[in-house]
Amino acid sequence: MSRITLSHYLIQQQREDRICAELRFLVEVVARAVKAIGNAVGKGGLTNSLGEAGGENVQGEVQKKLDVIANDILLEANEWGGHLAAMASEEMDLPHQIPNRYPKGEFLLLFDPLDGSSNIDVNISVGTIFSVLRCPEQASATAEIGEEAFLQAGSQQLVAGYAVYGAATQLVLTVGSGVQAFTLDRETGSFVLTSESMRVPEDTKEYAINASNARWWEAPVQRYIGELVAGKSGAREKDFNMRWVGSMVADVHRILTRGGIFMYPKDTKDPTKPGKLRLMYEANPMAMIIEQAGGAATTGYQRILDVQPEKLHQRVPVILGSKNEVERVTAYHQS
């Protein structure tokens, strides 16, 4: 039986009118960039690419050398093809304009070029997260695409995906018709379909949360985690296991593969920040993927994909994964 490659899958989606030719090309270009980033990550210290880059991103976080490398790879791969109106990255303050020497398209690409980069130096899995929006007509008619063009609710995403650079390089993708996972065959250079129509189990015994923040959690989260920690002797009458990698891609990939709930809730550690994770680059793409796989994703107070962005680098609380557990902790917030 012949193997289904990413290109084969995308062509089939185009034939079934789920995506257009330009969107297919865009995803293929992102996949090529992912392979290049995976190669850079895999070489590690061999190319002097580990450690800090000597600067900070717009969120005030120290940039790693590979943050900058991954960001440049995605920009250079995608700016010339004629399918994008502009790009936005977690690592850049303002949208990246398509150079005048290249044609412009109708789509917007958003990405976190290297999620979990704080783990690079200790060789823990990191990844790339991306999503695609359609550029509003009024914005596409202007010479420069401003931040406001990107401020669309996550429900408007056309494509969402992530790559995880682990023992194998995998690309997980949704074009709005379920979630598929492709594994990079390093001998042929092709992404091959290895998991089709992925589903998140509705119930789980695993949870992922940064327990070092426990003293700053709000009451609903304190209540929920307290029940899980109590195990069989508590209200839930069963034991739960905690798993925490500290790389959102790795934690969500585990949940997508075998179930669980991932939480980076609102807390009082820094009252000026409503959450830790970025709505446009992390929460929205992951929420679309999880929902397409039968799971749920909320801020605790509302569905993530219904949040109307107010700024490009907005942060939100994130609770996603197995549907029944997400609904339980969301109910605690709403009560």
Q: Is 117 annotated as a binding residue?
A: yes
Q: Please give the DSSP secondary-structure letter assigned to residue 90.
A: T
Host H or E run for residue 173: strand 169-174
Tell whether 46 is in a known binding site.
no
112 among the known binding-site residues?
yes
115 is in an annotated binding site: yes
Whether 109 has a binding-site annotation, put simply, is no
Structural contact between residues 274 and 291, judged by C-beta atoms closer than 8 angstroms: no
Q: Does 123 appear as a known binding residue?
A: no
Kindly report each contact of residues 58-61 with a partner whose C-beta sits within 8 Å and lies 24 or more positions away, as own/partner.
58/90, 58/91, 58/92, 58/93, 58/313, 59/90, 59/278, 59/313
Q: Which of 228, 230, 308 is nearest to 263 (CA)?
A: 228
Q: Binding site annotation covers 127?
A: no
Q: Is 210 annotated as a binding residue?
A: yes
| Closest among 16, 17, 19 to 28, alpha carbons compared | 19
What Cα–Cα distance (Å) separates residue 123 from each residue in 119, 157, 305, 314? 6, 32, 32, 29
Nearest to 298 by CA among 320, 323, 325: 320
Q: How far apart are CA 55 and CA 61, in angstroms?
A: 8
Task: Output the known binding site.
Answer: 90, 112, 114-118, 210, 276, 282
Task: Output the known binding site for Mg(2+).
Answer: 90, 112, 114-115, 282
Task: Output the known binding site for substrate.
Answer: 115-118, 210, 276
